[in-house]
Amino acid sequence: MKTRIEADSIGSLEVPSDAYYGVQSLRAKRNFPITGTPIHPVMIQNLAKIKKAAAISNREAQRLPEEKAAAIIYACDEIIAGKLKDQFIVDGIQGGAGTSANMNANEVIANRAIEILGGTKGDYTIVHPNDHVNMAQSTNDVIPSAGKLTVLDLLPDLLHALESLHAALLDKSQEFDHILKMGRTQLEDAVPMRLGQSFHAYATMIERDIRRIERARKELFTLNLGGTAIGTTINASDYYLHHIVPTLAAVTGYPLMQADDLFDATENLDGFVTISNTLKTCAVNLSKMCNDLRLLSSGPRTGFGEINLPPMQNGSSIMPGKINPVIPEVVTQVAFHVIGNDTTITMAAEAGQMELNAFEPVVFYSLFSSITSMTGAVNTLVKNCILGITANEKRCEDLVSKSVGITTALCPYIGYQKAASIAKKSLKTGESVTSLVLKDELLTQKQLDDILDPYALTGPELPAEDNLAG
């Protein structure tokens, strides 16, 4: 393999001649063999968008010659289009607050620009990674800005998946609206409700998660770009300072704003904690719902068995015919993953010192992972579970009829004391509450039918006769 010699402040290394990355990228690859996962491809594209906006701004500030700027912009456009991804060799988790990721981008763009200008890779007299590609920038404003843009790019797929889940749950709430079932508190029989009401509650919960994520997302439009190292704007021209963010907004299409306090925006990562917290909250809600679905479908003969989840695969290598709730199970596992990521992000944001947080790489690695894994989990939940759920209406009816929970609905008509006596007798004898009420001539069949009508029983309105106790 042919190589070229490149040097940095640490020393010299042999770099493959055909590589677009350089010595700093290669050194980082050797220093950080952490996850085996490189920088997120969307993060790579956003690094290129920032470098493109910087080249445009520096060209217009007359700091970067037209020819070099044009070559850098062309190289950035290629990366934005998805080319040269294999040249980004740095691990997603790295020391140095993301300097390695920033330099990986600088070196790849510089060497591609050199090539465009007819030079040989590694001849940084033509285009230099630091002097030209990284002009007026620092890792400390590039990396957090690229991280915010990446979150903004990844969130729409998650929000779309959640919107689909919300719609699917609403459809099921309507489909099951007529089915009376037992509501449960502390896993014990409580009072009757409609199966559709359960699914409507899930839909309402998911809608709240969507709104919460959308509100938190807005914090990410504010960037510290232009602040350079710590917020003093050192090495940035006045023109660049006032044009870099509007230029990047034009490149990305986002309504980006430059932070009023560049020091604050450089050293504090609370915006990422906020968005992570909304993802954690959503994950908690998703897992709670999936726990309910597993319980409601449990059995199918010896559990609740009120609903059926679509059978997706064999549930056992030893027990024939066993089908497990694998889709809710995987969603709950993703929830654990997201909750763990949120703890990592929280601790990383807290651990920053003075004018910079050195732990941004693990924040982004965790946050990107949360978004992408949640997106996949919600998509499979909708497609492979929610849409195919069916109800066991007869099973729901049987459980209601056998439960003493309906005595609560009878209290306004026969009184609490009589209702309690009926409940106790039903539990002791196994005879249904309704048959005992009729046997003791406490109510007529017509009165019972009115009281136990699914909609009258489970809504805010009582039947017309609001006191049948006599």
Active site residues: 316
| Residues 283/338, Cβ–Cβ less than 8 Å | yes
Give the distance from CA 423 to its chain's centroid.
46
- The alpha-carbon radius of gyration of the chain (Å, integer) is 31
What gap in Å lies between CA 17 and CA 11, rounded to an integer? 18
**Helix, strand or coil for residue 258?**
strand
| Residues 326/312, Cβ–Cβ less than 8 Å | yes
What gap in Å lies between CA 252 and CA 51, rounded to an integer? 12
Angle, helices 139-175/270-296, rounded to nearest 10 degrees = 30
The first and second tokens of residue 41, run together, are 């491809």
The first and second tokens of residue 317, run together, are 């290598």
Spatial CA neighbour of 50 closest among 155, 141, 152, 154: 141
Q: What is the greatest pairwise CA distance in the chain?
A: 101
What gap in Å lies between CA 101 and CA 345, rounded to an integer? 19
Please return the burial class of 247, using the count of CB atoms within 10 Å of its CB with bins 0-12, 13-18 and 19+.
buried
What gap in Å lies between CA 187 and CA 193, rounded to an integer? 15
Helices (H), 319-392: 326-350, 360-384
**What are the DSSP calls for 446-463, one per residue?**
HHHHHHT-HHHHHSSPPP
Q: In 400-427, which positions are buried (b, 16+ CB within 10 angstroms) versus exposed (e)?
A: bebbbbbbbbbebbbeeebbeebbebbe
